[in-house]
Amino acid sequence: MDFLFHIFETFSEITSAIGWIFALAFCVSLVILAILLANSMQRLKKYGCKAGLARELKSRILESSKFLNMLYRGNVHAAEAGKELMHILPDKNKHLLFREFLGRFLSRPVQNLESQPSLQSLSDEFAIVSSIQRSVSAIRSVAAILPAVGLCGTLMGMFRAFTGTDFNDPDMQNVMTELMMDFGTALWTTILAVIIKVWADIWCSFGPQRQVSIMTDELVQLKYYVFDVLEQQPEQTQTTPPADTVTVTPQPEDTGIVQKVEEQKTVDSKSKDSNEDK
């Protein structure tokens, strides 16, 4: 309780120093930054990953012969694919981007990946990554406005200090109080703006931005790992004749006819050879 009272007292002092207009501007900026940060961190918790996940998933895929067969043939039902993905990615609430990516490989309608440009370009996955990146960029944009707000407060404080103070007042204590209030506005607006801007930049660089970079790298690595696995697909020998090949099995009753036709062909060929000798 004392801690909250101390925070409220400090906030009141800063508000009285910078004025309620700038205090409201900083409060709105902090609320917007908090919402954007919470949104980006929540999405990264669902879609993000740690470094080295792609290599770990590759080893799990190679260890599962059933998953490999499903990956080779494609056109797997969604329920069957989800059941098998539980062995590769056990946690349903994490790594959703990689789960959806592998699920799209399993459910692809054709085996030939050249007919699946969305899988080759990772269009669906990069759309999610881009949306998270936009949230991070929005945080940086809001933080970039704050130094301008601080500079505006500095200019207004200095302007009021030199033009709004009545230096003819015989009570010098009132004069100094007004000067200190105006200088406080000029000083605290800049200090708060710089602190929030630096904090937002550091947080984005070592927090969301770093995780987005790791997620993008691991996603691209997993794509090439899966492509390598599919290129090593064992060739399957055809056990059935082609559709345009017709195999005719002679029936027992046709055997005599076939023999007579062959004898007649033999006689004709012999007579032809004798005529040529003459």
pLDDT tens digits, residue range 33-44? 999 999 998 998
Q: Alpha carbon of 209 to those of 108, 151, 204: distances in Å?
A: 32, 28, 5
pTM over 0.85: no
The residue-averaged pLDDT of 112-117 equals 59
58: pLDDT strictly greater than 80:
yes
188: pLDDT strictly greater than 80:
yes
Q: How confident is the model at residue 278 (pLDDT cuts 50, 70, 90)?
A: very low
The residue-averaged pLDDT of 58-64 equals 86
pLDDT at position 262 is: 54
Q: How confident is the model at residue 31 (pLDDT cuts 50, 70, 90)?
A: very high
pLDDT at position 268 is: 56
User: Mean pLDDT, the chain, as a whole number?
Assistant: 77
52: pLDDT strictly greater than 60:
yes
pLDDT at position 110 is: 61
Nearest to 99 by CA among 81, 112, 111, 117: 81
The residue-averaged pLDDT of 91-117 equals 76
Q: What percentage of the chain exceeds 70 in pLDDT?
A: 74
Which residue's structure tokens are 């409201």? 24
Nearest to 33 by CA among 203, 241, 276: 203
pLDDT at position 82 is: 82
pLDDT at position 179 is: 77
Q: What is the pLDDT of residues 211-260, one digit of tens each?
A: 999 999 999 898 888 888 877 766 543 334 444 444 445 454 444 544 55
Q: What is the pLDDT of residues 191-202, one digit of tens each?
A: 889 999 999 999
For residue 82, the surrounding DSSP H or E stretch is helix 78-88
- Classified as helix, coil or strand, 170 is coil
- Residue with more model confidence, 220 or 72: 220
Joined together, the tokens standing for residue 131 give 């949306």
pLDDT at position 259 is: 53
181 Cα distance to chain centroid = 49
- Residue with more model confidence, 220 or 11: 220
Q: Alpha carbon of 194 to those of 40, 112, 148, 188, 226: distances in Å?
A: 23, 55, 10, 10, 46
Q: How confident is the model at residue 138 (pLDDT cuts 50, 70, 90)?
A: very high
pLDDT at position 243 is: 43
